[in-house]
Amino acid sequence: MLPIRHLALAFSFACGAASAGDFDSCREEFANGIPPVVPHAETREPRALCFDEFAVLHSGISHTPVYVAERLNSKLLLDARYNQRTNKFFADARLPKSERAELYDYRSSGFDRGHMAPAGDMATEEAMAQSFSLANMVPQFPVNNRRAWASIEKATRHYAMRAAGDVYVITGPVFDKMPPTIGADHVWVPQHLFKLVYDPARHRAWAHWLDNTNEARVGKPISYEELVKRTGIEFLPLKS
């Protein structure tokens, strides 16, 4: 894990992400209250969705999140231990039908509905139920989801339990140029998954990077700078 050297990179091109104001009711999920800067222009503007304990920037092109942000700490995670998993997946009605994934897209696809903000992080019954929104999901290979990825989620919770204060986590998919799709709505299947962990008390950030295959194994975390280089997203922009 390497210290953050440069949190703010100069982007001189137009941002294709939703504006920061769209996350006004869930700014607490972002470090310094500032959402990531996403430079990729899209033909359909991404939509910001606030949930009780996480925030989603959703793409109507991929029918998946661009990223999902969470604020974790020991109190929230202690409360989460007593929550019973609901497993009641649902299509998010806040999204236009043309932009969202549906339950039938995943049915018989061979892919899991892979949480980006894990159900195991949710401290209340309401947040647990919300985590099963398909706006929080990507098509994930089953063994990947239940083993390698689950171990990354567990390690992240373990770190946040021991941290001095809030830890900010941003999770998302990375697609290749011609991603495979599932279902009638052509939900994109990611090539990679990432989970960024930022501990402001220690001024440190690192990211887990995992191929979306059943054979993938958890490797050494990459630096924040390397994650920005690979994705083009500035996840931790500083206030001006």
Whole-number pLDDT of residue 39: 83
3-state DSSP call for residue 92? Answer: coil
Whole-number pLDDT of residue 40: 64
Cite the active site residues.
115
**Which of 161, 151, 72 shows the shortest CA–CA distance to 117?**
72
Specify whether the CB–CB gap between 205 and 179 falls below 8 A: no
CA distances from 89 to 21, 101, 104, 192 (A): 28, 11, 11, 23
3-state DSSP call for residue 138? Answer: strand
Q: Tens of pLDDT along 15-26? A: 344 554 589 999
Question: Other C-beta atoms within 10 Å of 9: how many?
Answer: 13
Whole-number pLDDT of residue 129: 97
Domains, the chain, ordered by start: 20-231 (3.40.570.10)
Whole-number pLDDT of residue 240: 38
Q: Model-level pTM greater than 0.95?
A: no
Whole-number pLDDT of residue 10: 24
Instruction: For the chain, list residues with pLDDT below 50.
Output: 1-17, 20, 42-43, 239-240
